[in-house]
Amino acid sequence: MLSASRIHWNNLAGAAGGSRVELTGYPLAPAGARSAENFVLLPEPGCCAVHAPADRTAAVEVCAARPVGIQAGALRLTGRWQICDDDPTGWRYRLCDARPVEAPGWRGVTRRGALFAGPLMCLGVAATPASAQERQASARAALEAGPAVDMHSHAGRIANAKRIREGFGFTPIASPMRDGGMAAICLAIVSDGPTHHVEGKRIRPYRDPAAGELYEYGTLAFQRVRDLVRQEGLRTIATAADLKPGTPGVVISAEGADFLEGRLDRVDEAFNRWTLRHLQLTHYRVNELGDIQTEPPVHGGLTDFGVEVIRRCNRLGVVVDVAHGTFDLVKRAASVSTKPLILSHTDLTVAPTPWTRRITAEHARIIAQTGGVIGVWPVASTYPTFAAMAVGMARLADVVGVDHVGLGTDLHGLVGKSTIEDYQDVPQLAEALLDTGFNRQDVAKILGGNYARVFGATLTR
């Protein structure tokens, strides 16, 4: 059979009509259908077949050779590529004579997926116990090699103004980290916690902080992280050499540099007093450093103070994280930072909605060009399964390269449900990545090795 060339959602027009192609996406079919011959494939999970995609140039009509199981999340299909210029129903792209790629272990339509997809699917490729063990061992080896790092976390119930002020108890993190093979997590205080709240489905600021308020709150929040680290017997990671497998470690982080209150010397203070090694510039408040994705821009991106903070972080050895920042903020940050940037928790989108925290391919490429890493979020409404999340990571790797993809769980920080409920789930994600076609070295990079590279480059002068 002719080999199929893999095509990408950001360049559907680039594939030649009539050629054999391979495409991975999410099927949109009548509610309740378990299999279908004619359906729509989307780059992201769609809500339901009633809401057909508005932009039919960002969707592909699939005409399958035989019914395809469609209830297992993402699908990897090959077929003949057709570009339709005059389709009266408005479809521009069609995948004809499509069939699933039956890669070993691919969960979208074979193995586990097939077990639920009914008699239409070939059951002969179901996993044997021996290969399941091999996959688990391979996943474990990848996590060990990483070292496995979560680039953004609030695990242990460290955040939330009420918990901090009233001294609520922690939830365990060392034990789930060990079970999940995690070497380190970037544990972030939430600097603007007292000044934002949930409005409908959005988190928004609702008042200005009083002078000194967020500095004082930051002090309490850093102290709470320190208490958790001590109680759980974790290591505080202070140098590049500290980021290694073994006793679970914590990279002390802050989500939002609001505790600086516009004072540069407080970067040094946090570095020395709290071992801060990872600083996210902005969060849900347009602060002294720049604009955010979820509120109207005020500064036109990164402020001059934001530039000064990045330079100070570069000099001291603090990782700069531009999650939540606007595209303009990221562009200026990339132009001034001498170290790679992190964008710790987000997801790729081809059609950004207003106030989305997701990013476009162009936005992602700016981070990659600094040598940095973009962390994919385990938002369950987007990625209901580990297999789906692995495909999301593959899609980002297609855009920026596997060296620039990472994991940012936002554990205990997500408003909705998370695909990763705790760190013991991470090996399942590693297995799903292997199933998606990444080799062990790539899985090691995605689940922490890439972050370790940036961390090393940042902390080594």
The CB-of-154 to Zn ion minimum distance in angstroms stands at 6
Measured distance CA(96)–CA(99) in Å, rounded: 9
The CB-of-443 to Zn ion minimum distance in angstroms stands at 24
> Among the candidate windows 18-26, 68-76, 247-255, 304-312, which touches Zn ion by CB under 5 A?
247-255
In DSSP terms, 320 is beta-bridged to: 279
Give the torsion through C-alpha atoms of 13, 14, 17, 19, to 10 deg.
-140
Residues of 53-68 as b/e, b for ≥16 C-beta within 10 angstroms?
A: eeebebbbbbebeebb
Size of the site for Zn ion (CB under 5 A): 3
Residues of 351-371 as b/e, b for ≥16 C-beta within 10 angstroms?
A: eeeeeebbbbbebbbbbbebb
Short-list 272, 316, 315, 312, CA closest to 289? 312
Q: Which two tokens stand for residue 458?
A: 């940042």
- When the beta carbons of 281 and 454 are compared against Zn ion, the nearer one is 281
> Among the candidate windows 347-355, 381-389, 406-414, 450-458, which touches Zn ion by CB under 5 A?
406-414
Q: What is the DSSP letter of 448?
A: I
Task: Based on the shown chain and the rule CB under 5 A, indicate whether residue 410 belongs to the binding site for Zn ion.
Answer: yes
- When the beta carbons of 59 and 323 are compared against Zn ion, the nearer one is 323
- CA dist 60 to 93, 372, 444, Å? 5, 32, 32
- When the beta carbons of 193 and 413 are compared against Zn ion, the nearer one is 413
The CB-of-125 to Zn ion minimum distance in angstroms stands at 39
> Among the candidate windows 47-55, 139-147, 251-259, 292-300, which touches Zn ion by CB under 5 A?
251-259
- When the beta carbons of 94 and 152 are compared against Zn ion, the nearer one is 152
Find the binding residues for Zn ion in span 274-313 (CB under 5 A): none
Task: Based on the shown chain and the rule CB under 5 A, indicate whether residue 413 belongs to the binding site for Zn ion.
Answer: yes
> Among the candidate windows 8-16, 87-95, 100-108, 411-419, which touches Zn ion by CB under 5 A?
411-419
The CB-of-281 to Zn ion minimum distance in angstroms stands at 12
Find the binding residues for Zn ion in span 54-113 (CB under 5 A): none
Neighbours of 314 (CB within 10 A): 17
Residues in contact with 416: Cβ distance below 8 Å, sequence separation at least 6, in sequence order: 379, 380, 381
- When the beta carbons of 203 and 457 are compared against Zn ion, the nearer one is 203
Measured distance CA(60)–CA(41) in Å, rounded: 5
Helices (H), strands (E): how many in the chain?
13, 17
The CB-of-159 to Zn ion minimum distance in angstroms stands at 8
Task: Based on the shown chain and the rule CB under 5 A, indicate whether residue 321 belongs to the binding site for Zn ion.
Answer: no
The CB-of-162 to Zn ion minimum distance in angstroms stands at 17
> Among the candidate windows 40-48, 244-252, 253-261, 269-277, which touches Zn ion by CB under 5 A?
253-261
- When the beta carbons of 35 and 294 are compared against Zn ion, the nearer one is 294
- When the beta carbons of 192 and 410 are compared against Zn ion, the nearer one is 410
Q: How far apart are the first and last CA of the chain?
A: 53
- When the beta carbons of 112 and 363 are compared against Zn ion, the nearer one is 363
**Which residue type sits at 202?**
R
Closest CB to Zn ion: residue number: 413
Contacts with Zn ion, residue ranges (CB under 5 A): 255, 410, 413
